Structure 1
Amino acid sequence: MAKVKGAIVVDTEACKGCEVCIPVCPEDVISMTSKVNRKGYHYAFMHNPEACTGCTNCAIVCPDRAISVYRVKVTA
């Protein structure tokens, strides 16, 4: 059976750092960066990318649609 590997891409300029995505991630993949975007907001990033399953929870709850989720099947 193939395993699903996920990845997220955050639009750093659209992210306002609300942190709504962090608690909904079941794999604890997302964190806030210490950097800021042009608006002065800290933005989300994948601090644990190898754990992402591509569940899309983060993209669903993002009020600014700043997160895109990609999934790929990985055969062992």
Structure 2
Amino acid sequence: MKVTVKSARCKECGLCYSFCPKGAISFSQDTNASGYHPVMVDDEKCIGCGTCYITCPDGVFHVLKSERGVL
């Protein structure tokens, strides 16, 4: 599974960071156009559970299942 991040949408609320069961989410040192530090996903730690997708109020995450479409 692969999780992609739409950095421009991130408002650094921290919900995904708080609820990620594997600690795969961190904040970037860079800022987006709105001045927030967007999240990043560590592909090595991520299990593709979709918790970030469900908890994010801004639609930052896109979870792809391998060869089967979208979560």
TM above 0.5, yes or no, is: yes
Higher Rg of the two aligned structures = 1
Unaligned residue ranges in structure 1 (runs of 5+): 1-5
Q: Specify the code of the residue in structure 1 equivalent to 2:29.
A: S
Q: Which runs of 4+ in 1 moved over 2 A?
A: none
1:70: Cα distance to partner?
A: 1.8
Q: TM-score, normalised by structure 2?
A: 0.84
1:18 to 13, 17, 28: 13
Higher relative contact order (CA 8 A, sep 6+): 1
Unaligned residue ranges in structure 2 (runs of 5+): none
2:2 to 3, 7, 12: 7
After superposition, the CA RMSD in angstroms is 1.3
What are the superposed Cα offsets for residues 34-69 of structure 1, whole Å, 9 maximum, x if unpaired? Answer: 1000111110001x3112111000000000011111
**How many residue pairs are counted as aligned between the two chains?**
67
1:53 to 47, 54, 57: 47
Residue in 1 that maps onto 2:58: 64
1:8: Cα distance to partner?
A: 1.4
Asked whether the 8 Å contact 1:9–1:67 carries over to 2, the reply is yes
Residue in 2 that maps onto 1:3: none
Q: TM-score, normalised by structure 1?
A: 0.79
Structure with bigger strand share is 1
